[in-house]
Amino acid sequence: MINLLAVSVGNTRTRVGSFVDGKLLEVSTFRNDRREKIGSAIDAAYAPLTDRADASILLSTVDPERGEQVEKAIKEQLGRDVLRVERDMPIPVGRQLDREAMVGEDRLLNTAAAFDKHKQSCVIVDAGTAMTIDLVDGAGTFHGGAITPGAQLMLDSLGQRAAQLPEIELRKPEEVVGHNTAEAMLSGVFYGMRGMVREVVEQIATSINQFPLVIATGGDAQVLFRDCEIVERVVPDLTLWGLAVTLRTALEQAEDHGSGS
């Protein structure tokens, strides 16, 4: 069974979770600009693993510089080595991409977790700073997908670039027709994001001749997609589950190699 401190460093937030005997127990999230939160988040997540001699620490990052900072902080705090996906162990998902393509580790981890769980073609919508809409096929191969600014980034851009528009935080609008500027902005972004996901998913379904399972994750997924008909599941911790799948696969392969099979 997997015993793991899983750390996912995103563009805006870092998510930390502990897996004990394969079950996700503790999850902490902090903004990357709140570096003082790292220590308490690591302590809280690592506490259930303190007595687990086989516990591993596995980190992924979409920001190499910040990932190095978090890795260093964990090493100093816990006195433990930190493994990195792709550097120390590959993410177990096939890839059909252009040769020069660079793909965020979070996208690969999400698709690895989704395919490991469902064993079918899936589209994963990751609603974070950017929103990605990615396809993993029925053979477990990642094909890439679409990238767009995230919902909060859209709102921030409106507030910063248009003189008479306010800066507001994402939430579900009270009604479709906004009767004030803030509600109109929320309606445009909220329903625009949902409509964009629907269109991309329908185009993907046409291209692969079947309708995939649609899973949403990321910091804004609950707000945007919890009652969206096209999204069948919202899994906030999908990237952490991808880290667990990565470690489990590596351990299974090492065991098979050791047994000579």
For 226-238, the DSSP string reads TT-TT--EE-TTH
Give me the catalytic one of 54, 88, 106, 256.
106
The parent domain of residue 141 ranges over 94-240
Let me know if 106 is a catalytic residue. yes
Give tens-digit pLDDT for 14-54: 999 999 999 998 788 888 887 778 888 888 899 999 999 89
Residue 40 covered by a domain: yes
User: Does residue 259 surpass a pLDDT of 80?
Assistant: no
Together in a domain, 134 and 233: yes
Residue 125 covered by a domain: yes
Question: 79-106 b/e with 16+ CB inside 10 Å = b?
Answer: eeebbbbeeebebbbeeeeeeeeebbbb
CA distance 23 to 6: 12
Together in a domain, 123 and 53: no
Give how far Cα 123 sits from Cα of 41, 86, 230, 249, Å: 30, 22, 11, 22
Q: Which residues contact 224 (CB under 8 A, 6 or more apart)?
A: 127, 151, 190, 193, 194, 216
For 104-128, the DSSP string reads -HHHHHHHHHHHHHH-S-EEEEEES
Q: Would you state the pLDDT for residue 99?
A: 87
Q: What are the φ and ψ backbone dihedral angles of 23, each rounded to 5 degrees?
A: -105, 135
Residue 216 covered by a domain: yes
Give tens-digit pLDDT for 219-244: 999 999 999 999 999 999 999 999 99
User: Does residue 261 surpass a pLDDT of 70?
Assistant: no
CA distance 92 to 106: 13
Of the residues 57, 84, 111, the one at which a domain ends: 84
CA distance 215 to 193: 15
Task: Output the six-digit token pair for 103.
Answer: 């793909």
Task: Output the six-digit token pair for 150.
Answer: 């995230």
Does the pTM of the predicted model rise above 0.75?
Answer: yes
Q: Which residues contact 25 (CB under 8 A, 6 or more apart)?
A: 17, 18, 19, 48
Q: Would you state the pLDDT for residue 192?
A: 96
Q: Name which residue leads in pLDDT, 199 or 102.
A: 199
Helix, coil or strand: residue 8: strand
Q: Would you state the pLDDT for residue 222?
A: 96
Cβ-based neighbour number of residue 196 at 10 Å? 15
Together in a domain, 109 and 17: no
Together in a domain, 150 and 225: yes
State the pLDDT confidence band at 258, using cuts at 50, 70 and 90: low
Residue 185 maps to which CATH number? 3.30.420.40
Give tens-digit pLDDT for 80-113: 999 999 999 999 999 999 988 889 999 999 999 9
Helix, coil or strand: residue 203: helix
Residue 8 covered by a domain: yes
Task: Output the six-digit token pair for 192.
Answer: 């625009």
Is the Cβ–Cβ distance between 246 and 92 less than 8 Å?
A: yes
Helix, coil or strand: residue 66: helix
